Structure 1
Amino acid sequence: MGGFVIKNHSVPGEDHLNRVRVVVFDAQPVTRIGIRAVLEQNAAQVIGEADDEQGLHDLIDEQEPDVAVVDPSLAYPIGPVSMVRSLFKRPNCPYVVVFSSIRSRELLLPFYLLGVCGYVSKDAQPQRLIQAIHDAAQGRQDWFIGTMENQRNGGAHMNRLSPRERDVLTLMSMRLTNAEIAKELTISLQTVKNHTSSVLRKLGLNNRTEVMGWISAPKK
């Protein structure tokens, strides 16, 4: 059965010219209505809503939003990280803000590594979501559990990782084996091992067990 999609085809007037154009992905109608009400009073225009992944992809193709506000924890059956990764594989991917009840650093790290611009908890004040969306529209990364770089041991070394090394670290954080990472990224097992060794060296870690500890640990 198809998902629920709302598209706003109205032509924006002069007062909408500088508004951030937003699509919303959330399985809960009340949440979508609340986001729309808050954003449209604060220089943003919600141009579409969806409650499943295909509906979100269709909206992005048709509406070309500036920002997508998503709750990936509600993505079934593919899972939250795979859902966000599917967005970043699209040539027309908008900036992404995660608006979710996920709070674990370990669970949030993959989104950060993928390049998600912002995270806002669903129990945050509305102004934080508004700020995250406007920052995202300008390409700024804003995480309202504190900046991820500043929350973990070795965060200063994150910028040393290449894009492919970030991909590997993202999948390592999901506890995929080297063979599973190779299949996911369509690269050889030896290439995965090389990237893994490079990630460990750059983060000053010795093995996967230390990687998982590094993910979970706040910066001291």
Structure 2
Amino acid sequence: MNNTAPIRIALVDDHTLVRDGIRALLSMVPGFAVIGEASGGHEALELLQREVPDILLMDIGLKDSNGLELTATLKKQYPALKVLILSMYDHQEYVSNALRAGASGYVLKDAPSREIIAAIEVLAVGGQFYSSGIAQKLTTEEPQEHELTPRERQVLLMMAQGLNNKAMARELQISVRTVETYRLNIRRKLDIEKPADLVKHAREHGWSPE
């Protein structure tokens, strides 16, 4: 991450222990700042009236509301807000509804902590992020190459130009870890594992200057 303002994060989950655990995790990450938390929809609305975070981690099953409906409401009021769904549900219906509601990512609660951290970093620079199992389900339904975000195409183009991870991180002003996450998402979405095959794919689809 750049040595600039921290990524401001808020948590919405009706389980205190879950919020405590996530807050403890994120507090150890340089460049992250947890600015508030809420146990439900009403508290979330009040929280955002005081201060709008960069990233909102949202549970689906809240006691006083539905997290997906709340996401849609908040996105209408705060279009620039990035919402990361953090849920135990991996059903395709939940993921599809989250996308329609305006969420920028979907991570399972049993995902490794590094995946949650990577998701926040990716959303903060305008990308999308999904847990590995979620990404695989998404890519089985739609043409895979069309699912790449503009930033993912940019990373793929740089790969085709021969740039390594450090060079891409400097060019894009993001961390090497975030570049690695983009590359992982690209491999999942295109179902291509070998770097050489990814470069070939980029060139065949006109994503290279050559």
Residues 87, 93 of structure 1: 8 Å contact kept: no
Q: 1:118 — aligned with what?
A: 105
Shift of 1:121: 0.4
Quote the Cα distance in structure 2 between the aligned partners of 1:35 and 1:52: 16
- Checking the alignment, whether the CA contact within 8 Å between 1:73 and 1:102 is kept in structure 2 is no
CA distance in 1, matches of 2:111, 2:144: 24
Aligned: 1:150 with 2:139 = yes
In structure 1, C-alpha distance between the alignment counterparts of 2:22 and 2:44, rounded to whole Å: 16
Contact 1:60 1:92 in 2 (8 A): no
- Cα offset for 1:81? 2.7
Post-superposition CA distance 1:39-89 (Å, at most 9, x none): 11112111001001111111112122101001022253x433322211111
1:57 aligns with 2:39: no
Corresponding position: 1:86 with 2:73: yes
The percentage of counterpart residues that share the same residue type is: 26
| Equivalent position SS for 1:72 | coil
| 1:131-176: CA deviation from partner (whole Å, max 9, x where unpaired) | 11111111101111216641315566789xxxxxxxxxxxxxxxxx
Shift of the 93–56 alpha-carbon distance from structure 1 to 2, 3 Å rule, reads farther
> Counterpart of 1:213?
none
Cα 1:89–1:112 change in 2 (3 A) is same
The change in CA–CA distance for 1:86 and 1:113 in structure 2 (over 3 A counts) is same
- Secondary structure at 2:83 match in 1: strand
In structure 1, runs of 5+ residues without a counterpart are: 1-15, 160-218
Residue 13 of structure 2 is aligned to residue 41 of structure 1: no
Cα gap change, 1:132/1:158 in structure 2, threshold over 3 Å: closer, same or farther? closer
Any gaps of 5 or more consecutive residues in structure 2?
A: 149-189, 192-210
Change (3 A) 1:21 1:55: same
Greater shift, 47-56 or 82-91, is seen at 82-91
Aligned length: 145
Asked if structure 1 preserves the Cα contact closer than 8 Å seen for 2:7 and 2:33, the reply is yes
**AA partner of residue 109 (structure 1):** S
Distance 2:122 2:63 in 1: 25
Q: Which consecutive segments of 4 or more residues in structure 1 shift more than 4 A?
A: 153-159
Q: Does the 8 A contact of 1:21 with 1:46 survive in 2?
A: yes
Secondary structure of 1:146's aligned partner: helix
Say whether 1:137 aligns with 2:124.
yes
Written as runs of structure 1 = structure 2, the 5 A alignment for 1:181-192 is: none
**CA–CA distance in 1 between the matches of 2:20 and 2:44?**
16
Taking the aligned partners of 1:49 and 1:146, their CA distance within structure 2 comes to 27
The alignment partner of 2:77 has SS state of coil
Deviation at 1:96, TM superposition (A): 0.3
Instruction: Compute the TM-score of the two structures, normalised by the length of structure 2.
Output: 0.61
Counterparts of 2:38 and 2:105, CA distance in 1? 20
1:75 and 1:49 mapped to 2: Cα distance? 15
